[in-house]
Every structure is written in C-alpha cells, then in structure tokens.
Amino acid sequence: MPWFSRSKDNISPDSQKKDLPDGLWDKCPGCGEIIHKKQLESNFWTCLKCDHHFRIGSEEYINILLDKDSFKEMHKKMRSPDPLKFEDTKKYKDRLNNTVKALGLYEAVRVGTGKIDGRNIAFACMDFQFIGGSMGSVVGEKIARVIDKAYKNKIPLILISASGGARMMEGAFSLMQMAKTSSRLARLSEAKTPYISIVTDPTTGGTTASYAMLGDINIAEPQALIGFAGPRVIRQTIGKDLPEGFQRSEFLLEHGFIDTIVSRKDMKETIFNLLSILD
C-alpha cells in the first residue's frame, strides 16, 4: 500500500499539508482523497476511490481518446475581434489576452482531425478553463468549420462539450453561434455522417441548447452537471424545490435527455464500437 493512503488518523491535517509539494497532488472533490497527479493521470483523471471524474481540458482528452500524435489541429490561432468593445470589471480584450497568456490556449475550443484506433475522425474539444468554456464567435466558427471538415471528408465528428453557455462579452454574436452550428449539423445529418456528442461537467446554457444535444448519440460522463438555466434560477422561477440529482447525468438519462453514460476509462472503446455500427 502506498504511503499516502495511510489512514487519516495517523496524519494531522497540518503535517499532511506540509508533505504535499505544490502541483503534484490533487484532492478529490468527491471524497476528499489526496491523489498523486501521476496516478490520477494513469487512471484517466478519475478518482481511484469514488470514481469522481475530474474536470480536464482538451490536451487531456486528446491524450485519452485519440491515437498517439494523430491530432492535427485546425485554425489554432483564430482570435475574437471584440466586436462590441466590451468592458465589465476589465476590458474583454485584456481578459482574452490574459487568458491566452495564462493557459497557452487561444480559445475555449480546439478543433481538428485525428484517429481513434486507426479510424479517421473530425474532433473538437472545449476547454472550460478558458472564460468558463463560453461560446463566443470564435468557438462557434471553429465548430462550424470542423463540422464542415467532417461533411467534406465524410468522416464522423466527435465533439466534447464543457461550457457555461454563450459568452456575454460578445452579446448577440454569441447567440448567433447556436443557429450557425445547428444548421451545419443538420447538413451533416442529411449527409448521414455520424456525430457523437460527449457532454462533460459542466455543460449549460446555449451550448446545451445547440450542438451539445444534437448528436446522433449523446453521451454524458458520470455525475456531470448538464442543463440550460442553473438550478438556482429554476428554483426561484418555479418556486419549488428541485428533485435530488436534478440536472446530473443520471437524472437526465432517466428522463431521456441523453442516450448513455460512459465512464472516461471506457470512452475510447465505446466511441470506436459506436462508429463501427454507425459509419
């Protein structure tokens, strides 16, 4: 048994803190277990004890789902022109520049092509870290273009969502992305090219109301928060308490909003099997 899973009685919280070098360990939000990052990574960023699925970004999903070195990114450096010259607590332009610098990502989605067990696919993955995975004009445009790539090359599309919804700093330009991506997906569907949507924690707002729920198969990760408006807003609007587990994957599966729940460990195999049936 590794030393770090000794019973908690032997370790006071203070000594535990001192023993944890910054950045090497993570605490599970589900059960509080302290887990080494290397161990988490080899377990697909899920808790070894309670199966909590940690929030991860596009880089991790690319490593988990795609064949090694197969991802070819498209439109990597596309940037928002800040059409409204928007400013809240800071200028939108500055917020974008700071985020790009801090994360090394250019926008809240990465798109391109790749392979899953040798099978060519078009691939998109959102990054929640990038301004809450908000869907601005660049996110919409990149997704529209990767749908077009799938359409032209007749290859299946796999899209992973993690998003707080439309990006308020781009106002109506953000909302227009819902129509744009949805109409492109309709064309893809008419061409009978498969689209698998993977919905992760959290996916809400305009993203749920457009491409995240339009897959031929909509897969959710376990326990993911998926909804349109948040639970607090709904509770206030209808003036009633919400049922337990409301807006979590398991609740949505029971009510027919998603098709299946798949653990991250089984995701690649599941997608491959589904594509073998659909494509």
Site of interaction with Zn ion (CB under 5 A)? 28, 30-31, 33, 47, 49-50, 52
Tokens matching residue 139: 């996110």
What is the nearest approach in angstroms of Zn ion to the Cβ of residue 34? 10
Cβ-based nearer residue to Zn ion, 29 or 245: 29
What is the nearest approach in angstroms of Zn ion to the Cβ of residue 5? 12
**CB neighbour class for 70 (10 Å; exposed up to 12, middle 13-18, buried from 19):** middle
Cα of 68 vs its chain's centroid, Å = 20
What is the nearest approach in angstroms of Zn ion to the Cβ of residue 154? 42
Contact indicator for 225, 201 with CB cutoff of 8 Å: yes
- Helix-then-strand count for the chain, H and E: 10, 9
Cβ-based nearer residue to Zn ion, 120 or 223: 223
Cβ-based nearer residue to Zn ion, 30 or 83: 30
Spatial CA neighbour of 141 closest among 164, 121, 165, 124: 124
Cβ-based nearer residue to Zn ion, 52 or 142: 52
What is the nearest approach in angstroms of Zn ion to the Cβ of residue 268? 22
What is the nearest approach in angstroms of Zn ion to the Cβ of residue 125? 24
Cβ-based nearer residue to Zn ion, 25 or 272: 25
Encode 217-238: b = buried (16+ Cβ within 10 Å), e = exposed: bbbbbbbbbbbeeeeeeeeeee
Q: Which residues contact 10 (CB under 8 A, 6 or more apart)?
A: none
Spatial CA neighbour of 65 closest among 127, 133, 117: 117
What is the nearest approach in angstroms of Zn ion to the Cβ of residue 236? 31
What is the nearest approach in angstroms of Zn ion to the Cβ of residue 26? 10
The whole-angstrom separation of Cα 244 and Cα 141 is 37
Q: Which residues contact 139 (CB under 8 A, 6 or more apart)?
A: 107, 108, 109, 126, 167, 177
Cβ-based nearer residue to Zn ion, 114 or 202: 202
Cβ-based nearer residue to Zn ion, 26 or 73: 26
**Cβ atoms within 10 Å of 255's Cβ, excluding its own:** 9
Tell me how long the chain is.
279
